[in-house]
Amino acid sequence: MKTDKKGLLAIIIVAFCFAVMGLFARFLNNSYEIFQQIYLRLFVAIFLGLIIFKKDLNFKKLKKISLNEWLLLMARAVLIYLIGVALFVKAVNITKIANVSFIGALPLTALWGFLLFKEKFTFKKVFLITAAFLGVILLTVKDFSNLSIIGLGEIYALIHVVFFSLGHVTRKLHSNILNDKELSIIIFIFAFIFIFITSLIIGEGLPVIVPSSLPVIFIAGFFNLIIIYLSNYGFKRVHVVLASNLISLESFFALVIGFVFFLEIPILTEIIGGLIVVISAYFMSLVDKKEK
């Protein structure tokens, strides 16, 4: 498989994993505080990453990277986990899911592509981004009259989307000294340290491990590893605007997961929304291919 096609597949798998992660967060929320559940998952991700990626890790290269590279690694750890993931978990617990889903559908990843990386701005891209946005709205918002005015939860959700997407797209700013696996492990280590310290500062204390939660923590940690590695791999090789439309497949995958595992029968608007998201992602890939 060609490198660019592998990059596309990596982003699609990331979208699927995003859809699954909500299940883990909801389950662990019953036993752990917000930052506790995040750093427990990160600890597992680091442990598994050091084992699975062992042959491809060469930390002697750390002596060669610049101060700017170190700062970028720390910044991405903060953007993705300390701000992004933490605020998402907080938002879904204090506001309506419909509001969070609506804000989460904003195509800010594509916006970063236009603003930061000067990707070509065309009518076709704007149309397909808008189509994907509308498709996600049809998938996630069950009752538009249920969307409330902006409150604290909505502000948290908006900040989450802005910084979480920025943390992923800035993969393109890294040098070629570290490979995707090394980047992933280092970001995990920084994120674990920052979140663990933050957890202690705000008074969460040390977690009391619930035995029944251990399999979920382990699986969630593995999914965290998949997400950050494939995100690093994909965003290095795929244009950000195209990646934005592929990430929107998360809502489609959530619909499929609900049907397969929970027998949730999709309604007509959800089916239409899912088709719009898939079709827009496909045509965006064609537009991107023509521009290369």
Confidence check: pLDDT of 284 > 60: yes
pTM of the model: 0.87
Distance, CA of 220 to CA of 262 (rounded, Å): 19
For residue 144, the model assigns a pLDDT of 60
Q: What is the mean pLDDT of residues 126-143?
A: 81
For residue 22, the model assigns a pLDDT of 73
Confidence check: pLDDT of 1 > 60: no
Q: What is the mean pLDDT of residues 239-264?
A: 82
Q: What is the mean pLDDT of residues 104-108?
A: 76
Confidence check: pLDDT of 274 > 60: yes
% of the chain surpassing 90 pLDDT = 49
**In three state form, how does the secondary structure of the chain look?**
CCHHHHHHHHHHHHHHHHHHHHHHHHHHCCCCCHHHHHHHHHHHHHHHHHHHCHHHCCHHHHHHCCHHHHHHHHHHHHHHHHHHHHHHHHHHHHCCHHHHHHHHCCCHHHHHHHHHCCCCCCHHHHHHHHHHHHHHHHHHCCCHHHCCCCCHHHHHHHHHHHHHHHHHHHHHHCCCCCCHHHHHHHHHHHHHHHHHHHHHHCCCCCCCCCHHHHHHHHHHHHHHHHHHHHHHHHHHHCCHHHHHHHHCHHHHHHHHHHHHHHCCCCCHHHHHHHHHHHHHHHHHHHHHHHHC
Q: Tens digits of per-residue pLDDT, 175-195? A: 999 999 999 999 999 999 999
The per-residue pLDDT of the chain, averaged, comes to 87
For residue 148, the model assigns a pLDDT of 55
% of the chain surpassing 70 pLDDT = 91
Q: How far is CA 163 from CA 4, 79, 236, in A?
A: 26, 5, 18
Band (pLDDT 50/70/90 cuts) for residue 107 is confident
Confidence check: pLDDT of 150 > 80: no
